[in-house]
Amino acid sequence: MKIKVFSKEDIPGAVKLWNSCARNGQTVYAPITEDRFQEIFFESPHYRQEYVIAAFDEEGQMAGFGAGLLKRFYLQGENFDNTPAYVTMVLVDPQKQRRGVGTAILRDLEDRFRTAGKRKAAITYRNPAALTWDIPGHRGIQHNNAPGVLMDSPGFHFFKDQGYELMRVENGLYLPLAGYKIPQRILEKREVLREKGIETGMFDPEKHEGFEELFDALRGEVWRQTIRDNQKRDRPLPVLIASDRGKIVGFAGPIDREENGRGWFNGIGTHPDYEGQGIASVLFHCLMETFASIGAEYSTLFTDEENPAMFLYQSAGFSTGAKFGVMEKERL
Ligand SMILES: CC(C)(COP(=O)(O)OP(=O)(O)OC[C@H]1O[C@@H](n2cnc3c(N)ncnc32)[C@H](O)[C@@H]1OP(=O)(O)O)[C@@H](O)C(=O)NCCC(=O)NCCS
């Protein structure tokens, strides 16, 4: 077997393997097109050719491929030393599995990470390369970012065997939005907040300020960046906020509808000084209502299974579609 750096001519072969794994139920990743494959693995701003590799058997057939990523651009507070190498994908032809191909690909990738000076590798939602997955049993309901390795899948056992440790379990949740209405108890909560001087509604730069302070308090660097980028757009997407006399104390957004019918938002959070008053519940339900009003058919999200926000999502009617493991190998 030979492992080589991937070239664009290898894309059709890799897409075929990907789609055969997607069809046989080994993974929950959505079937992929060549264009989408190219977009994820070759057009990322973090792309470097040495971290996309393929294994070929004696007949020159592709037996599998692997893709990893080292960040080239960092969020606030991140740098080379405090970010891991990310494993985006190791995928082996279903006809050639359990023969050590996956191990050979992963070892090759890890050697490359080590040579670059990385000591730690991770499979996590923090990887900027996002892989869309289908909610099992609900064709057409998709989430845009698999937050780790599907629990108890071949991939999960494989990474465990390779010395990766399970750090956290993330629940992938979904809610069909047909007929969605804000429950009465939430409308009442909204009123109680209003009486205390806390308004919930759409962000208006003329009236509200304080995103930066909110993200400092929440340590939300991805959210900070997304909101900053959104505000630079010609027509920024709407963002729901809670404000205390103009000061932003909670947010949910930015809000959009994806082509596949999914309501998209980047995050939700309440300032720690304002927790425990129902702000996130009100914002979250307003978010679902906004989704429904812009024609979104469903909402999906993921969260740590131990995150108290699980109660909020479940009480809004969300069900768990799949569980994913965030996995790390400390010493490459
Ligand atoms: C995960 C995957 C890449 C493994 O490839 P592979 O070539 O079969 O892996 P290897 O033969 O090197 O397996 C090494 C070890 O991993 C473990 N392992 C691999 N597949 C397993 C499975 N289906 N069930 C249990 N353990 C498994 C075993 O310990 C195995 O050693 P063994 O065969 O001596 O028992 C392959 O199953 C695959 O392509 N899955 C679909 C894509 C995917 O989900 N990738 C992970 C997400 S990035």
Task: Give the 3-state secondary structure of 82-151.
Answer: CCCEEEEEEEECHHHCCCCHHHHHHHHHHHHHHHCCCCCEEECCCCCCCCCEECCCCCCCEECCCCCEEC
Task: Verify whether ligand 1 is closer than 6 Å to residue 153 (CB atom).
Answer: yes
Same domain, 199 and 168: no
Same domain, 120 and 253: no
Same domain, 134 and 195: no
Task: Give the range of the structural domain holding residue 166, as residue numbers without chain letter.
Answer: 2-172
User: How high is the pLDDT of residue 76?
Assistant: 86
> Do the Cβ atoms of 250 and 223 come closer than 8 Å?
no
Residue 311 lies in a domain: no
Q: What are phi and psi of 169, to 5 degrees?
A: -110, 130
Q: How far is the CA of 19 from the centre of ligand 1 (A)?
A: 17
Quickly state the pLDDT bin for 26 (edges 50, 70, 90): confident
Of the candidate ranges 131-140, 187-196, 231-240, the one whose mean pLDDT is the lowest: 131-140
Same domain, 157 and 203: no
Same domain, 116 and 212: no
Same domain, 33 and 147: yes
Same domain, 168 and 235: no
Task: Verify whether ligand 1 is closer than 6 Å to residue 154 (CB atom).
Answer: yes
Quickly state the pLDDT bin for 313 (edges 50, 70, 90): very high
Task: Please state the rounded mean pLDDT for residues 32-56.
Answer: 96
Same domain, 129 and 46: yes
Q: Which of 98, 105, 123, 152 has most ligand 1 atoms within 8 Å of its beta carbon, as the pocket-test mutant?
A: 98
Which of the two residues, 275 and 137, has the higher pLDDT score? 275
Helices (H), the chain: 11-23, 34-42, 101-115, 154-161, 184-195, 211-218, 221-232, 279-293, 309-315
Tokens of 15: 């897409």
User: How high is the pLDDT of residue 11?
Assistant: 97
Q: How many domains, the chain?
A: 2
Same domain, 224 and 79: no
Tokens of 282: 């009100």
Task: Verify whether ligand 1 is closer than 6 Å to residue 149 (CB atom).
Answer: yes
Task: Please state the rounded mean pLDDT for residues 288-297.
Answer: 96
Residue 318 lies in a domain: no
Residue 314 lies in a domain: no
Residue 324 lies in a domain: no
- Which residue, among 95, 90, 110, 99, has the nearest Cα to 41 in the 3D structure? 90
Same domain, 152 and 208: no
Q: How far apart, in whole angstroms, are the C-alpha atoms of residue 102 and residue 324?
A: 20
Task: Verify whether ligand 1 is closer than 6 Å to residue 147 (CB atom).
Answer: no
Q: How far is the CA of 66 from the centre of ligand 1 (A)?
A: 13
Mean pLDDT of the chain: 95
Same domain, 222 and 124: no
Same domain, 162 and 26: yes
Last residue of a domain, one of 172, 194, 229: 172
Q: How far is the CA of 98 from the centre of ligand 1 (A)?
A: 6
State the pairing for strand pair 165-176/149-150. unpaired
Task: Please state the rounded mean pLDDT for residues 163-181.
Answer: 95
What CATH number does residue 244 fall under? 3.40.630.30
Instruction: Say if residue 233's pLDDT is above 90.
Output: yes
Task: Please state the rounded mean pLDDT for residues 152-159.
Answer: 96
Task: Please state the rounded mean pLDDT for residues 271-276.
Answer: 96
